[in-house]
Every structure is written in structure tokens, then in C-alpha cells.
Amino acid sequence: MSSPASSEPVPAPAHAPDAPGRGLRAGALRIGDIVVISMASSGPTQSIAVTLAVLLATVGYASFLPIFICFIPILGIAIGYQRLNAWQPSAGATYSWVGRALNPHAGFFGGWIMLMYYCVGTTSLTVPLGTYMLTFFSNSAANNVYAVAAVGSGFDILVLVVAAFGIKLSARFSWGWAIFEYGLLVGFSIAALVFIYGNHHPHTVHVTTSWFTIGGAGGFSALVSGLLLAIFLYSGWDTAAYVGEEAKGKQAGPAGIASVFILFVIYAGVIFCLQGVAPNSVMQNNAGNILAYVGNLLGGGFWENVMIVAVLGGTLASLLAAIVSAGRISFAMGRDRTFPRWFANVNPKYGTPWNATILFGLLNLLFLWGTTLIGSIGKALADIVSTLGLIAAIFYLLTASAAVWFYRRTIMSSASNFFLGGFLPGLGAAFMLFVIIYTLEQGSLNGIQLGFGFGLAAVGLVLSFVSQYVGKSSFYSDPTTSAGDLVEEELAKREA
């Protein structure tokens, strides 16, 4: 097997002894389905609900700056994903590509930290679910961590059932909320501009040139902390890669690029419009349910409830996408026997990685209860968001590096190959490396954040060597025998 754009042949094995069989439903998703699922994974409404107050506390009103700065390197990384997906669509994505192009242990490490990202990340989804749902009934209940965790657990089980019953059902669920959610965000952004500039409210904050400067962000160190938050905001678009084996053709790559463009427009526009509706201190006082507060401020109790519904629906779709992604990554690792084969079990009726999906859905509950009960809700959310940005930066760095390395012999063959295959993915990798190193050097992360970010990552390195010794997977001795080769051959046959 060889890449269509690479002169480096990668032979496909006659058989893959470690693969228990193919079972994911190839051709189930069109490009629009993949974009919607990727957007749901990033979860614009719930991400803004979690991040808006933290972003204001970090960079003040200069939020556009980190969102814009991150856009170009994230786009470069998305192009790297697209090129790697053209080489080999794989449910494991970074795990498979890094393992085959760079090093098997680096691949396992990449797969592990992605799983940790989705497990830890669900706490930033289920906490707002509980908070916003309880806001319908009582503000005091919405600030009760036990009640929030209990309601969030119920929603987690609901979306776990949807994820287990097939990728098409998951796509329909995501479509259903996308139109309502994004339409509402646009509507509230327009209403916020009218509120700020049309009605002359005395406590609103107007745009100044400082909103677009490093000084306005609180200095370079604060800006880099804001970049980590912006990475978290964008993260999730890569879900397109994890459903690549279930896409028609090789549409997962272009879908990921389209998702990055759309996310930039949504995040830059909506946050820019909403952040000035009240002073920063007031926004911080309402950090736990900030979008509900904004909805009430702009339109009263009815629109507060509408915003709550939007956050609930968007967060459910995002939680669903997280479970879908974790299930497919661990499925790919089980298929290669770097995880136990139990993870590679596929339900024959629904075409989903049954065991892996259910396990990670239940693990989400453990992370929810463990994280929510430590400190206040606002503090827990801030810790989780910063951790996710760090973890995302690490696996984006690995994937972009793999893309540049795999296509290294064709980078200089043409201007387009140099720009798309070398410069942009390389820029993305260098940017992520800088953010990681600078964040650590400045001591921007507290002990909880470092513990989650690097403690869990270090466990992955240890497990990789344990897996090599115990499982004796050929992925370690000859990673070109990845079961993904058989998947690509099957997709090529179906297209023909």
C-alpha cells in the first residue's frame, strides 16, 4: 500500500493476525454528517459556557487574539490530519498514524492521552448539563455539587445508549441540535451588539483597541495561557478522523478542515459579541451558569430558559461525540491488540464498538464524581479546561509531526506539497510545542492541572511497554501490519 501523494511505499500485509475482524459500518456517514459530529465534539455552546468566564479572567476582553492566533496552526494540523487520512483512514487516527510513521510507543502514548482527554473532558460536559438543568428549578440546587453530578450522570447514561445504537443515530441526534444551537448563538450575538451599542446601558463594555493587543490581554504570559484555552475551544474537530472508517470514501479529512473554519467563525464572533454585555466582575460572579445569565440579561426569563435548552442540547451532542470518539480509539487499539481484544468487539447489528463504547461511557461517571466534588464548580471547571488544552496540544503535536515525517520525501516536489505538507503542519507542530514548553516554564498550571496532564500521560508510557511485553502485538515489532491496512483495502473495494 502507498500513499497517493507519497513516494514511500508502505506494503500491505497478506493478512493481519492481530485483527479479530472488521465490523465498523463503512460508508455510513456523508461529509455533512462528519462535520456535524465534529462540531458537536467541539461543542461551541457548551465550550463557551465553560470557557467564557475563564477566558475573561485570563486575557480580559482580548479574547479574539488567542482565538485568531490559534486558528492558523490548528488549520495546519487539520491539513496534516487530512493527508494522513488520505494515506490510511483509521478509527485510531493519531494512535495508528504516529505508531506507524514515527514509533509504536509514541503511537500508543498518543492513543492513551486521547482517551484520557475524552474521559477527563466529559466532566466539562456533564457539569454544565447538571448545572443548567437544575437552573430550571432552583439556583441553589444548581450550585449543589451532589445534585449537579447526579443529573449529569443521568444525561451521560442517556447519550451512552444513543452512542451504542449506531453511528447513524448519533449523526441524526447531532443534526437535530446543530441547526437550533448555532442559529440561537448567531441570534444572541446580534442581540448582544444591539444591547451594548443600541440601548446605551451604563454597565456594558465597549470595544477599544486594547482588545486586540498583547497589553490588553495582560501581557505575553497571560496571552499564552489564553492560547491554551483557545486550543481547548477548537479541540474536538479531530473527531472527523475517528469516524474515518465509517465515512463514504475519504471525506473525513476535508470534513475536519471545514470544521476548523466554522469553529473559528463561531468562537471569534460569539465570544466577541457576548463578552461586553456586563462588567468582567459580574461575569465572574455568574461563571457557573454564565450563558443563562447572558440570556436573561438580553431577553429576560424566557430567553434565559431558551439558552439553557441550547446548552443542554449542545452539551448532550458534545458528550455523545466524546463517547463515540473514545469508543473508536480504544476499538482500534484492541484490534491491534495493544489493548485487550475485548475492546475490539463490534455489535453485529449496530456496527458499533460495543464493549469499548459502554466502558468509556461508564468511566465518564467516575471522572465526573471524582472531579466535581473537589472544590467549587467554577474552580473545577477552570482546572479541567486548562488540562484539556494541554492534553490536546500534546496529541496535536504528535499528529502534525507524523504528517510532516511521513510525507518528508515529497515536501520539496512542488510548492503546494511544501506549503500543505510541510510548512502548515510543521507550523502547527511548532506552535503546540511552544505552548506546552512555555506553559510549563512559566508555571501557569497548578498541581491538579499538571497531575492530570502529565501524570495520566506518564501512565500511558508505562502501559505501552507493559502492552508490548504482555500482548506481544505485531504493532510493536512491525507496525505496518496494523489492522487498519485491511480496513483501507476493504474501503477501496467498496468504492470500486
pLDDT range class, residue 384, cuts 50, 70, 90: low
> What's the pLDDT score for residue 350?
85
Helix (H/G/I), strand (E/B), else coil: 446:
coil
The overall average pLDDT reported for the chain is: 82
For 244, the grid coordinates are 474515518
pLDDT range class, residue 12, cuts 50, 70, 90: very low
Residue 472 pLDDT > 90, yes or no? no
Q: What is the mean pLDDT of residues 227-241?
A: 89
Strand partners, 29: 247
Phi, psi angles (nearest 5°) of residue 9: -70, 140
For 358, the grid coordinates are 459502554
> What's the pLDDT score for residue 470?
87
Q: What is the pLDDT of residues 334-353, one digit of tens each?
A: 999 999 999 999 988 888 89
Say what percent of the chain tops pLDDT 70.
86
Residue 482 pLDDT > 50, yes or no? no
Can you give the length of the chain in residues? 496
For 144, the grid coordinates are 449543589
For 106, the grid coordinates are 509514541
pTM of the complete model: 0.84
> What's the pLDDT score for residue 400?
94
Q: What is the pLDDT of residues 256-292, one digit of tens each?
A: 999 999 999 999 999 999 998 988 888 888 887 788 8
Residue 83 pLDDT > 80, yes or no? yes
pLDDT range class, residue 495, cuts 50, 70, 90: very low
Please report the sign of the dihedral spanned by the C-alpha atoms of residue 312, residue 314, residue 318, residue 323.
positive
Say what percent of the chain tops pLDDT 90.
30
Compute the radius of gyration of the chain from its Cα atoms. 22
Rounded to 5 degrees, what angle do the CA atoms 387, 390, 396 make? 140
> What's the pLDDT score for residue 380?
55
Q: What is the mean pLDDT of residues 308-324?
A: 85
Q: Which one-letter amino acid corresponds to residue 421? A: G
> What's the pLDDT score for residue 40?
86
> What's the pLDDT score for residue 375?
56
Domains and CATH numbers, the chain: 31-472 (1.20.1740.10)
> What's the pLDDT score for residue 494?
47
Residue 13 pLDDT > 70, yes or no? no
Mean pLDDT is lowest, of 122-131, 221-230, 452-461, for 122-131
- 320 or 144: whose pLDDT is higher? 320
Write out the H or E segment, with its range, that includes residue 453.
Answer: none
| Ranges of H-type helices in 198-287 | 220-234, 239-242, 252-274, 280-285
